[in-house]
Structure 1
Amino acid sequence: MEETFSLVQSANQILVTLLILGLGIAILVVAVLYILDVTQTKHAIRRNFPVIGRFRYFFEHMGEFFRQYFFAQDREEMPFNRAQRSWIYRSAKNLDNTIAFGSTRDLSPVGTILFVNGAFPPIDQHSAEPEPLVIGPYCREPYSTRSFFNISGMSFGAISKPAIRALSKGAKESGAWMNTGEGGLSPYHLEGGADIVFQIGTAKYGVRDAEGRLSDDRLRAIAAHDQMKMIEIKLSQGAKPGKGGILPGAKVTEEIAAIRGIPAGCDSISPNRHPEHETVADMLDMIAHVREVTGKPTGLKAVIGAYGWLEDLFTEINRRGIESAPDFFTIDSADGGTGAAPMGLMDYMGLPLKESLPLVVDLLHKHGLRDRVRVIAGGKLVNGADVAWALAMGADFCVSARGFMFALGCIQALQCNKNTCPTGITTHDPGLQKGLDPVDKSVRVAHYKRNMEYSVGVIAHSCGVREPRDLRRYHCRVVQENGRSVPLEEIYPEYRTGS
């Protein structure tokens, strides 16, 4: 008994000693921080409120996470609100996506899109699968696909190895194509067996020679993969129109550097345009060259700002002959994207998709090129209504990056540019990547893609058409300043199909 009491007493003495030691260390740390704060001159808050002022930075950082769960309403948060994210999460998990007790969407703001239901919608047995579309009829290897919703460009580097693996496998399972982004082709893009669109950025990552110029040999090697279906020449992207791609040095690992052909650990900053392009004639020359070398459909990707060059481009195509046209044109919206970018460019540069998509489609019609050039729309198209609108405005295909990131488990932590993504999607920290299981997430990618196309089909059938690509501008209305809505065909009257 006495021995037990002695052991307990000794344990208590040790705990008391440790407590006193811990308190002493804490007091010492607080004292050091106090001295540092009152003597520094860079931060007024810390100087005026030593030690306590440091919590401001902690709360500011944590606020990014807490706002979306506790303070923002379902339709308030930017860039994607809780209602949008919840729909994607449930679609990716293949859960019931119906809602009850009325919509929480405010239908009165100017610009609100409304679809008009038809008097005689097709019954289920009369609905139709999307017809396959051929891209690149003048190529040696045209590409035909039914899939109208696909994975937009996300580079290996901007997103992680397990994320690429999950996207590749999910794309294959659901019949989507997958764009590599400008970071080159990694083995993880090919691993799942999906159809691949290879993007040539301004730095020519993955197809560059020692001087950074386009290498025909490397281009042929890329095109030799059976999965490689199309080549996309990127002029600009939604996150930073007029600025080249930016990958912070912390995310440029040895593997990524080898794939891109650049030094490891250094910021990867692409030129703001292709040095080969001085005129629209140069663009067509490059398209023709890449198409000849690869034999694959070759197109352009751009955010539209100034658009006089499009008139010149389409005029030059008609002068040369329609076979000289890009096989597709990917129109990216100017309201940001997955990449790191200066705020001034992400917030203010370029036209949003709601204005640029009809502009390009109408110009193609004006020059008689609409049937020759396939139109691909990208930019915040994350749910069925978004995609249905884009198809009604004239897009042949839609692509999304952030929608598929949400399908992978993205929580919109806004850490994409810092290598600290808590879900393992945009980080190369092995400790954070381990939370992303490519096998599980690939299933969610496939579910999201299928449920997206089903959702678009539901809207199309309600509008009275048999398949999504039959949607037209007169199936949509947009709310005006007087509170009334008008058909989109009145706002953009040049496009007339089936009339």
Structure 2
Amino acid sequence: MDLFTQIVQLLVDTFVMIVGLGVIWVIVIFFVDITQTEHAIRRNFPVVGRFRYAFEHMGEFFRQYFFSMDREEMPFNRAERSWAYRAAKGIDTTVAFGSTKDLRPVGTVIFVNCPYPTLDEDGSPTSPVTIGPGCPNPYTTDRLFHISGMSFGAISRPAVLALSKGARKAGCWVNTGEGGLSPFHLEGGADIVFQLGTAKYGVRNDDGTLNEERLAAIAAHEQVRMFEIKLSQGAKPGKGGILPGVKVTSQIAEIRGIPQGKDSISPNRHPEISNADELLDFIDRIRTITGKPVGFKTVIGSIVWLEEILGKIGERGPDSAPDFITIDSGDGGTGAAPMSLIDNVGLPVRESLPLLVDSLIRHGLRGRIKVIASGKLINPDRAAAALCTGADFVISARGFMFALGCIQSLQCNQNTCPTGIATHKKSLQRGLVLEDKAERVRRYQQTMENEIGVIAHSCGVTEPRQLKRKHCRIVQNNGRSVLVSELYPEPEQQEVN
């Protein structure tokens, strides 16, 4: 009994001491807050004013669960994320009672259904498309929907592996992002698009210039099918890629050829490319070294510079053209970007895509140059709308992040991603079970293509590549919808000289 009494007394004394220290701490904080001059809330409401910062921080995580409606949030609302989650998990993607989508806002896409839709048994497989038919090693695929650029560094080792393995199962390609080719891209066995960023990670000399031997070595991998020169990114046009030093591990530093633990900031453009002629020369240089299709990725603010490039191709001949152009949307995603750019620069893909396609038609290059659309195209309706407007392929990064389990916690640049996707902390990566996530990637890709096909059949065509501008309407300021074919009538096609 004496021992029990002593234990109880010890606990009581400990409790009293903790409470006493707490009271002292509150008193100290009270005087600190009431005398400081930087924060008005803390000065007017000492101690309790500090809870504002905790609630502000926690609100970022709990807002989507308790307060936001299904169609409210940005960059992706709950309905959009929920569809991606269900598709990836193989759960029924149908909904009951009625749609929660408001069809009245300006810009809403409405597809033109056919009174005699295509019977499912009459539907045909998606037509294969060949990119770079004039290359020694052209690339042919019948997949519509592929994985956009996410570099090893921006995302974790298990995330890269899951994407690569899932892409192989689905038959689509995976883009390396500008961080170089990692062993994990190759290990998964998928077709790979190597992205050549402005810092030339993985194929650079010490001074940041292109190392042709390293580039040729990467091209020697059979899995590496194409090369994409990154001119700009939708989330940060005019700004190079940003990888915070906290995410630059020894392995990432070795792959990229940069110092460990220091911020990895790419130049805001390729030093070799300052005009149309230099861009075409650089494309030819990469294609000559690799023997594989070469294109470029850009976000469009004006069509003038593209018109200049296409005009130069007319002078040089179609063999000088890029094999593809990837159009990123002004509201595209990133691991880290200045808010001034991510919010305000670059056209959204719904506007830039028809501008590009029309320019290609005018210059007689629509068949020569394939078009890849990117930027918030994570659901079948957005992807189908891009196909209607002229895209040959649709790619997504954040859609596949949702397939991996991303909860949109907006922690990509902090190395604290709670799902293990965008962090290099082993304790968080353990939540990402490789085989399960690879299967989710496969299911998401295949469900996307299946439901794009459902839209195509509803419009009366046999497969998605037959979707045209006449199959899509866009709501205008007056509340009425207009055919895309009327908003953007296709120009007359010219012959290539």
TM-score bin, normalised by smaller chain: over 0.9
Task: Name the structure 1 match of 2:249.
Answer: 253
Contact in 2 for aligned 1:376/1:396 (Cα 8 Å): yes
- Amino acid corresponding to residue 409 of structure 1 in structure 2: G
| Matching residue within 101, 105, 110 for 1:105 | 101
Equivalent in the alignment of 1:62: 58
Q: What's the counterpart of residue 270 of structure 2?
A: 274
Distance 1:250 1:150 in 2: 29
Distance in 2 of aligned mates of 1:34 and 1:380: 47
Letter paired with 2:424: H
**Secondary structure at 1:348 match in 2:** coil
Counterpart of 2:218 (choices 213, 217, 222) is 222
* CA positional deviation for 1:33: 2.5
Aligned positions of 1:458-473 closer than 5 A: 458-473=454-469
CA apart distance, 1:188: 0.9
Do 1:220 and 1:294's aligned partners in 2 also have CA atoms closer than 8 Å?
Answer: yes
Note the 1:286-305 alignment, pairs <5 A: 286-305=282-301
1:326–1:373: 8 Å Cα contact kept in structure 2? yes
C-alpha contact 1:338 1:401 (8 A) present in aligned 2: no
Q: 1:193 aligns with which of 189, 192, 216?
A: 189
What secondary structure is seen at the aligned counterpart in 2 of 1:312?
Answer: helix
Letter of the structure 1 residue corresponding to residue 365 of structure 2? L
Given candidates 29, 47, 56, the residue that maps to 1:51 is 47
Give the match for residue 439 of structure 1: 435
What 5-or-longer segments of structure 1 have no aligned partner? Answer: none
Shift of 1:164: 0.6
What are structure 2's unaligned runs of at least 5 residues?
A: none
Shift of 1:230: 0.3
SS at match of 1:12: helix
Map 1:156-235; keep pairs closer than 5 Å. Answer: 156-235=152-231
Quote the Cα distance in structure 1 between the aligned partners of 2:491 and 2:390.
8
The aligned residue for residue 309 of structure 1 is 305
Q: Deviations over 1:282-326 (max 9, x none)?
A: 000000010010011000100001221111100111111101100
Give how far 1:12 is off: 1.3
Contact between 1:489 and 1:495, CA under 8 Å: does it hold in 2? no
Structure-2 residue corresponding to 1:136? 132
The answer to whether 1:414 aligns with 2:384 is no
The offset of 1:124, in angstroms, is: 1.7
Of 353, 358, 382, the match for 1:357: 353
1:496 Cα offset (Å)? 7.7
**Contact 2:332–2:374 under 8 Å retained in 1:** no
On the 8 A contact 1:330/1:377 being kept in 2, the answer is yes
Judge conservation of contact 2:362–2:492 (CA < 8 Å) in 1.
no
Aligned partner of 1:74 in structure 2 is 70
Task: Tell me if structure 2 keeps the 8 A contact 1:336–1:347.
Answer: no
Given that 2:321 and 2:369 are in contact with CA atoms closer than 8 Å, whether structure 1 keeps it comes out as: yes
How many corresponding residue pairs? 493
CA-CA distance at 1:495 after TM superposition: 5.2
Identity of aligned residues (%): 64
Q: How far apart are the structure 1 equivalents of 2:210 and 2:271?
A: 11
**1:417 counterpart SS class:** coil
TM-score (norm 1): 0.97
Q: Which residue of 2 aligns with 1:475?
A: 471
What is the CA distance between 1:488 and its match in structure 2? Answer: 0.6
Residue in 2 aligned with 1:116? 112
Mapped to 2, the partners of 1:495 and 1:355 lie a distance apart of: 16
Whether the 8 Å contact between 1:108 and 1:479 is mirrored in structure 2 is yes
> 1:366 maps to what in 2?
362
Letter in 2 for 1:375: V
Q: Which amino acid is the alignment partner of residue 241 of structure 2?
A: G
| 9, 34, 50: which one aligns with 2:30 | 34
Return the letter of the residue paired with 2:156. Answer: S
**Is residue 280–residue 321 contact of structure 2 (8 Å, CA) maintained in 1?**
yes
Distance 1:440 1:364 in 2: 42
Note the aligned Cα RMSD (angstroms): 1.2
Return the match for 1:326 from 322, 325, 334. 322
Please, what TM-score do these two structures have when normalized by structure 2? 0.97
Q: Give, in whole Å, the separation in 1 of the partners of 2:25 and 2:399.
A: 45
Deviation at 1:485, TM superposition (A): 1.2
The aligned amino acid for 2:115 is: A
Contact 1:196-1:227 within 8 A present in 2 as well: yes
- Is the partner of 2:343 in helix, strand or coil? helix
Q: Is the 8 A contact 1:163 1:425 kept in 2?
A: yes
In the TM superposition, what is the alpha-carbon distance from 1:184 to its structure 2 partner? 0.5
Contact persistence 2:111–2:472 (CA under 8 A): yes
